[in-house]
């Protein structure tokens, strides 16, 4: 008996288990899935055979047969960004709760290939969560049908029937401005994020609204989204007579804080600084950062909630819009009237 069908190296298949147990593949399948009712003695034989062969059903084959992968994809523009890390973590956690796994794809801010990456990722699983703040509206619209079912995070779906979970940046900015106004600040600077960022635009237009209404004087600084961007702009902050500055996000605020510190500028004594996001380290800077907090786990959880509904053929849930929570810490204080002098 020259071994030929024997191949202990390759993983056992359902057929080999069936053969060893002396039953049909269908029966093995039934036993493995706990479904249907199988005669106890047969079930036992199958279990033994499976154990003996160290049989593990092929997820792949099962997915093909069932038409479901129990896997979803997440596409983000930058895995180094704390915000997307939060989305990733909370989404992964939420999906795991329902027995789903997460495939992650980082477009690395490559707007040109973002669409292809999303498409490719989507085709590997059942659904998609898309973070693509810089993708043009028309491209998104064109992609939408091929990406479904999917949900958008941190960006509105123009006219598409795509659920989205977003942050109400306008409200956050309003809270920050009110807070600063209450402290006597009248003239404030905004450290603008990436020009193509949709969320930056929301912040900016809200601020311009305040300015247009004559409630504050606004000085805009082109900046960016990173620590270094904030750090680089610190030197120009005192020149234009602002007593407070709102940064695009916490990272930028950190940079500004650090730059101001190096310049010997007292915060909030001479100038107040506020961020946006409330990333983990915001409470640990010196001084601790006043910011508008978007709950780190909510985004991912809500996204999953909506995607889950879509996967089950339920009607697209209403959009979720989070109002950031104003977190007042030590980096903002009363306007120093002496500052302009």
Binding positions for DNA, rule: CB under 7 A: 10-11, 13-15, 22-27, 29-30, 32-33, 35-39, 42-43, 55-58, 60-62, 64-67
**Nearer residue to DNA within complex by CB, 22 or 241:** 22
State yes or no: residue 36 binds its own copies (CB under 8 A). Answer: no
Q: Tell which one of 19, 32, 42, 106 touches its own copies (CB under 8 A).
A: 106
Site size with its own copies, rule: CB under 8 A:
39
> What whole-number distance in Å separates Cα of residue 21 and Cα of residue 46?
5
Tokens read off for 133: 């703040």
Pairing of strands 325-327, 291-293: antiparallel
* Residue 156, number of CB atoms within 10 A of its CB: 16
**Nearer residue to its own copies within complex by CB, 124 or 215:** 124
> What whole-number distance in Å separates Cα of residue 118 and Cα of residue 107?
8
**Nearer residue to DNA within complex by CB, 24 or 178:** 24
Tokens read off for 75: 């596409």
Q: Which of its own copies, DNA, none lies near 102, with the C-beta cut-off 5 to 8 A by kind?
A: its own copies
Q: Kindly provide the b/e burial profile for residues 37-76, where b requires at least 16 CB atoms within 10 angstroms of the residue's own CB.
A: ebeeebbebbbebbeebebebeeeebeeeeeebbbbbbbb
**Nearer residue to its own copies within complex by CB, 45 or 296:** 296
* Residue 202, number of CB atoms within 10 A of its CB: 19
Tokens read off for 246: 């709102």
Q: Tell which one of 25, 134, 187, 261 touches its own copies (CB under 8 A).
A: 261
The dihedrals phi and psi of 76, each to the nearest 5 degrees, come to: -130, 155
Q: Which of its own copies, DNA, none lies near 13, with the C-beta cut-off 5 to 8 A by kind?
A: DNA
DSSP, collapsed to helix, strand or coil, labels residue 199 as helix
> What whole-number distance in Å separates Cα of residue 76 and Cα of residue 103?
11
State yes or no: residue 123 binds its own copies (CB under 8 A). Answer: yes
Contact 193, 223 (CB under 8 A): yes
The window from 24-32, 64-72, 167-175, 332-340 that contacts its own copies (CB under 8 A) reads: 64-72
Tokens read off for 335: 């306007």
In angstroms, what CA-CA distances link 110 with 9, 134, 175? 42, 9, 33
Q: Which of DNA, its own copies, none lies near 14, with the C-beta cut-off 5 to 8 A by kind?
A: DNA
**Nearer residue to its own copies within complex by CB, 102 or 335:** 102
State yes or no: residue 139 binds its own copies (CB under 8 A). Answer: no
Q: Which of DNA, its own copies, none lies near 155, with the C-beta cut-off 5 to 8 A by kind?
A: none
State yes or no: residue 52 binds its own copies (CB under 8 A). Answer: no
State yes or no: residue 64 binds its own copies (CB under 8 A). Answer: yes
- Contacting positions for its own copies (CB under 8 A): 54, 56, 58-61, 63-64, 69, 71, 79-80, 85, 88-89, 92-93, 96, 101-106, 108, 120-121, 123-124, 146, 227, 254, 258, 261, 280-281, 284-286
């Amino acid at each position: 008996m020259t071994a030929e069908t024997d191949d202990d190296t390759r993983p056992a298949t359902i057929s080999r288990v069936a053969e060893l147990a002396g039953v049909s593949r269908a029966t093995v399948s039934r036993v493995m899935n706990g479904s249907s009712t199988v005669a106890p003695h047969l079930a036992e034989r199958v279990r033994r055979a499976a154990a003996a062969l160290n049989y593990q059903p092929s997820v792949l084959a099962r997915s093909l047969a069932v038409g479901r992968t129990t896997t979803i994809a997440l596409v983000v523009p930058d895995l180094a960004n704390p915000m997307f890390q939060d989305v990733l973590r909370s989404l992964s956690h939420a999906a795991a709760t329902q027995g789903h796994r997460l495939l992650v794809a980082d477009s690395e801010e490559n707007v040109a290939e973002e669409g292809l990456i999303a498409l490719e990722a989507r085709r590997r699983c059942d659904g998609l969560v898309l973070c693509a703040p810089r993708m043009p509206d028309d491209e998104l619209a064109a992609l939408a049908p091929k990406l479904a079912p999917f949900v958008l995070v941190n960006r509105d779906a123009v006219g598409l029937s795509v659920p989205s979970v977003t942050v109400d940046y306008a409200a956050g900015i309003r809270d920050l401005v009110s807070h600063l106004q209450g402290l006597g600040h009248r003239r404030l600077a905004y450290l603008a994020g990436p020009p193509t960022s949709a969320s930056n635009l929301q912040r900016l237009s809200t601020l311009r609204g305040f300015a247009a209404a004559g409630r504050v004087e606004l000085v805009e600084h082109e900046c960016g989204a990173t620590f270094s961007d904030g750090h680089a702009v610190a030197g120009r902050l005192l020149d234009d007579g602002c007593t407070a500055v709102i940064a695009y996000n916490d990272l930028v605020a950190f940079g500004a804080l650090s730059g101001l510190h190096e310049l010997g500028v007292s915060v909030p004594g001479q100038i107040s600084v506020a961020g946006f996001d409330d990333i983990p380290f915001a409470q640990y800077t010196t001084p601790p950062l006043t910011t508008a907090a978007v709950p780190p786990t909510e985004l991912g959880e809500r996204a999953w909630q909506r995607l889950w509904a879509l996967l089950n053929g339920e009607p697209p849930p209403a959009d979720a819009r989070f109002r950031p929570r104003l977190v007042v810490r030590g980096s903002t204080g009363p306007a120093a009237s002496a500052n302009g002098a």
